[in-house]
Amino acid sequence: MELKKDSNAVSIDMLLIVHSEKRRAAQGAHSDRPADPGAPPQRRGGFQGVGNGIRRWQKLEGNDLHGNLVEKQHAQQTQVITSYDNQGTQLTVEVHPRDAMPQLFKKFSLAKRLQVDKNGNTRPRQPGGKDTHAYPWDRSSLKSMPLDLRQFEKLDTYASQVTVKSGLEELVSDLLQEAHSDLEIVRAIWIWICHHIEYDIEAAQEKDRQAFKPTAILQTQKTNCDGYAGLFERMCRIAGVQCMTVPGYSKGLGYQPGQSFSGEFDHAWNAVFLEGRWHLVDSTWGSGLVDSSTSKFTFLYNEFYFLTHPALFIEDHFPDNKNWQLLKPPQSLRQFENNMYHKSEFYNKGMLSAQPQTSIIKTVNGKATVTIESCAPTQFMFMLNGKQEHGLLSLRKNGMKLDVYPPTAGDHKLQIFAKGNSEIYSSVLEYTLKCHYADMDVQLPAELHQPVGPSWFSEQMGITKPSHTEPVIYTSDGRCSVSFGVEEGISVLASLHGDDGPVTEETQRRYIFQLHREKRTELKVQLPHAGKFALKIFVKKRQEPGNYLFVFNYLICCTNTKVNWPVFPESFGNWGVDNELLEPLSGVLPANRNVLFKLKLHGIAKALVKGQDTWPLTLSPEGYWEGSCSTAGCREVYVMVLENANHSFYSYILKYQVNAQ
């Protein structure tokens, strides 16, 4: 006898020899339960051996009202006998005709899985205390039992490639060729359904009951949630695994945050009995999704809904019977309606929690704040009413913070997306913002993209140790200086963006002057006027082709209405990485004036300033090129350098405009 780890089950390897009825009668053998002509027929879920010892259910006539399997008996054919003790232990054996060759079963299950009513009929055990999980979620696992998904890789590949040859029983038999435990049986069935059955939107809308039948589903490979659940249950029962269909309410297609649920149920899913406990699965939502705008279904496998932890499953599934929540304590319908709905991708991408925990947020002084905690650094983005505007999203090492400022009073739709390990942003949270007061003083630039402020992501992209760690910079005189370390081989580009005034596409980089000192980059910023501006920062690896990549931006705020700084001088490609400009910083020079120049230039032989005439710059003992230039009679002034003393070709490095007289 082989003892299983499950305390509720044992396995026996044996060969059973059965004598004919006549010999039994001669020996005085009697049935344990006398036959009653008026009694209803016994309903048994018998097992039949398959060539490789895999179990499957006998051919069945159907289900009774409680979903119990009704066996179809045939004279002179293999029969199935099931016996029970007072604790509901089940023993199932095959009885062959006298002339038939007895077969060796690899294993007979004596698991205490099925309850027996007073007539001996089997029925799945109802969920009880040992099936429940603590609520709220303890963050231990997304699953209701310990799983290493790597163990399913071979089985998943096999099950996803199995094709329908004839009927449901043969399909299950084919799937079970690589499944050697109840868990693997359930996994194989789950994978096959999720990769082969398409959600039938028309049948769901018309409530076509024919589309829910397993035979019809196999032919069309389409159904709705009732069909998914019914097919999953039927296949599990054929394979010898207890399974129930659970109806209820769901936060699925068309759900609006905070909505109420009443009337008939809108969804169905399954509970399966594994290793002595009930577990929850939803093959409808595991198979893919429906685009609400086109009403088209797309296969997109979702692991989240396989053996989901009940404390997470309750977020979007509310069963008709609270016992099927598998929670302690169970949640009320009102709690289900009011609780925050974290989409499956919220957990798939490593999120742990979000604040606030309600789906409807009331703004305070025109502002709403959302924070998310994640297992690992994650990229986020948001949309308010379909646009990436009116918010400040800053990344944190394990999460993010978002401040939203709705532009008008009323209701607003806030969506939050996360990237995770993939290159695709997925929707993870959705809120309804109720704004009674819009703060008109908070007008964020339309070009303010996400994220705002430096973070783990900017460090990953080669920008380290920033001088300003907060996302917002306040300046009273309209000037500021931002510096940060830059990794070897990284080039930095910056631009300034405002919603009005003289900042155009041509001048958005002229209000920033970039300097390099000892592996640090400094950005000197001068604002053209008071207001709010986005300082956007891009990077690029020098040796790689392609465009600069956006990394992050700062929000620069100035309330001084007297601010009116001009642009910086225009720099050319020969402006060295380590060059430094001390004066003049203004890109617009006064007319008819002598203007002082002071620069630190590396690796050059000579430097000069060219206006109406040419004025040479001299190298001081401190290492600066200095001199003066008259702006009389000219509209532009250039700084030029000679890199090689043996050559006579000068290169332009800076350009200044001269005010009109």
Residues recognised as catalytic = 225, 267, 282
Which two tokens mark 367?
A: 């502002």
Please work out, in degrees rounded to the nearest 5, the angle formed at the alpha carbon of residue 233 by the alpha carbons of 170 and 262. Answer: 150
Q: Tell me the pairing of strands 380-384 and 410-418.
A: antiparallel
Identify the CA nearest to 507 among candidates 461, 570, 435: 570
Residues whose CB is less than 8 angstroms from the CB of residue 251 and which lie 6 or more positions away in sequence, other chains included: 315, 316, 341
Which residues, including other chains, have CB under 8 Å from residue 17's CB and lie 6 or more apart?
A: 102
Spatial separation of the C-alpha atoms in residues 428 and 431, rounded to whole Å: 10
Q: Which residues of 432-457 are buried (b: 16+ CB within 10 A; e: fewer)?
A: bbbbeebeeebebbebbbbbbbbbee
Helix (H) or strand (E) holding 393: strand 391-396
CB 305 within 8 A of CB 347: no
- Report the chain's C-alpha Rg in angstroms: 37
Q: Are 124 and 69 in contact (CB under 8 A)?
A: no
Confirm if 327 and 135 have CB atoms less than 8 A apart: yes
Q: Is residue 521 within 8 Å of residue 484, measured between CB atoms?
A: yes
Q: What share of the chain is helix, strand, coil (3-state, %, to 5)?
A: 15, 35, 45
Instruction: Report the 10 Å Cβ neighbour count for 463.
Output: 22
Token pair for residue 140? Answer: 């231990």
DSSP result, 335-392: HHHHB----HHHHHTTEEEEES-BSEEE-BTTBEEEEEEESS---EEEEETTBS-SEE
Residue pair 604/618 in contact by the 8 Å Cβ criterion = no
> How far is Cα 661 from Cα 537, in angstroms, rounded to an integer?
37
Residues whose CB is less than 8 angstroms from the CB of residue 508 and which lie 6 or more positions away in sequence, other chains included? 495, 496, 497
CB neighbours of residue 332 within 10 Å: 11
CA distances to 105, 248, 449, 623, 633 from 265, in Å:
43, 5, 42, 81, 85
Could you tell me whether strands 651-658 and 588-589 are parallel, antiparallel, or unpaired per DSSP bridges? parallel
| Cβ atoms of 648 and 614 closer than 8 Å | no
Determine whether 528 is exposed, middle or buried from the number of CB atoms within 10 Å of its CB (0-12, 13-18, 19+): buried
Site of tokens 């109802």: 126
Beta-strand ranges (E) seen in 436-476 are 463-464, 472-474
